Amino acid sequence: MKAIRVHAPGGPEALRYEDVPRPTPGPGQVLVKIEAAGLNFIDVYQRNGHYKVPVPFTLGQEAAGNVAAVGPGVAEPKVGDRVAYITILGTYAEYAVVPADRVVVLPDGVSTKQGAAAMLQGLTAHYLATSTYPLKSGDACLVHAAAGGVGLLLCQVAALRGARVVGTVSTREKAALARAAGAADVILYTEQDFEAEVKRLLGGAALQVIYDSVGKTTFEKGLNCLAPRGMMVLYGQSSGPVGPFDPQVLNQKGSLFLTRPTLAHHILTRAELVARAGEVLGWIESGKLQVRIERELPLAQAAEAHRLLEGRKTTGKVLLVP
């Protein structure tokens, strides 16, 4: 079978389209024939070495497809079931072996490609808005990169929970997408100072929470936009990591909270995975949550997909199709 392998950290050129042995499921495992793999920024961090992974490895942590075989002791899912999964390395491939308790069966009203597009980013948006800082009616939140994969979903989930959403984007085209996803106000950070604009839009009030996936270029100014006891949720670093930080600053700016969460810690148990995925996939099936699949590229073009993502030339989701 074909897979995208990384033999040494580097740029997109480090991605190699290679032949590898087709795996066989062992006890408690299933073999998934992958129909689509989701592209995510964590893939970039692992490819370039910011997140350490022993080499060589097959990239990718999100996919959906059909169960092609099950290992000993597996009653569910069954061969032929359409399933999706996340946080299991190796999805940039035609087949993958996955623990049976880490896959979820897709509802009839959700396509396999929607499942591949929604799992990592959809569940991320879910835990950010419902667990990290549980948004409620009347809250005001800032979503950086509001037209990105997580951003578009997070704007929708935040709006569903009754929050006022302010989004930041780089272009007017992305601004339109963010507004359609539920952002009441959108700031073009390429033309406007987002700190000043947030304070103008809120009329002197401040934000309860900032969801920041950008990091280095937005972090410090964001702290100035939070209400006393507000929360800075730093869940990514697309512009680079935040530098050394003195916690005393949190006191000076209003007893602020700072957290650096990740999805894996919010789906630790099977029950939590099923509950979060069930709610997100249910919203998609009912039409309450729209998943924007911007483009699909053949698996062999994974390097080009990474170039597009790193160049901020994508909105919504990019899928790799074996």
Each residue's pLDDT tens digit, 9-55: 999 999 999 999 999 999 999 999 999 999 998 999 999 999 999 99
Whether residue 315 has pLDDT greater than 90: no
- List the domains of the chain with CATH numbers: 2-119+291-321 (3.90.180.10), 136-260 (3.40.50.720)
What's the pLDDT score for residue 216? 95
Whether residue 283 has pLDDT greater than 90: yes
What average pLDDT does the structure give for the chain?
Answer: 96
Gyration radius from the chain CA atoms: 20
pLDDT by residue (tens digit) across 180-217?
999 999 999 999 999 999 999 999 899 999 999 999 99
Neighbours of 249 (CB within 10 A): 12
Whether residue 316 has pLDDT greater than 80: no
The rounded Cα 37 to chain-centroid distance in angstroms is 13
Per-residue pLDDT band for 238 (boundaries 50, 70, 90) equals confident
State mean pLDDT over 132-142. 98
Per-residue pLDDT band for 312 (boundaries 50, 70, 90) equals confident
Starting at the edge strand found earlier in the chain, the sheet holding 15-19 runs 15-19, 2-6, 57-58
pLDDT by residue (tens digit) across 57-101?
999 999 999 999 999 999 999 999 999 999 999 999 999 999 999
CA–CA dist 81, 72 (Å, integer): 17
CA–CA dist 244, 246 (Å, integer): 7
What's the pLDDT score for residue 209? 98
CA–CA dist 7, 273 (Å, integer): 31
What's the pLDDT score for residue 84? 98
263-287 residues labelled b (16+ CB within 10 A) or e (exposed): beebbeeeeebeebbebbbebbeee
Q: Considering the chain, what percentage of its residues have pLDDT values greater than 90?
A: 94
Q: What is the pTM of this model?
A: 0.93
What's the pLDDT score for residue 204? 83
